[in-house]
Amino acid sequence: MAVIKANSEDVKLLARLMRAEAEGDLEQGMLMVGNVGVNRILSNCLDFQGIRQMKQMVFQSPGGFEATQKGYFYQKARDKEIRLAQRVINGERVWPASNALWFFRPSGACPANWYNQRNTGRYKAHCFFAPTAQDCPAVY
């Protein structure tokens, strides 16, 4: 059962985002991007208050995803990404993105905190950051 409301176009939009942000990190990386996106819709806290729909989340500016802000959000979703997007919409969570609202690629080690959010772990070159359960209970 879905954890957020999403129609077929929403699933494709999330799949495109996952591909644009993490195609090079394969299935695991794309699932993590999907987790962050779904968490942003669920959270209704911090930078994501009022973000209740897929299109709002994908195209949020400022504070959104680099792919949509820097122009590499142009490829369509393939069947593989669509299946992965449906999995995260259905509630699949992948550590370290399970409760994360942010991720970025530092030039060195992951900082322990980033904008007052704790580091939950690293996957390949990306560090993931989650709010506290007190700040954003809906992502837990």
Domain spans in the chain, listed from the N-terminal domain onward: 8-139
Q: Within 13 A of 74's CA, how many CA atoms are on the CB side?
A: 3
Q: What is the pLDDT of residues 80-105, one digit of tens each?
A: 999 999 999 999 999 999 999 999 99
pTM of the full structure? 0.97
Q: What is the CATH number of domain 8-139?
A: 1.10.10.2520
For residue 71, the model assigns a pLDDT of 87
d(CA 23, CA 17): 10
Q: What is the pLDDT of residues 13-60, one digit of tens each?
A: 999 999 999 999 999 999 999 999 999 999 999 999 999 999 999 999
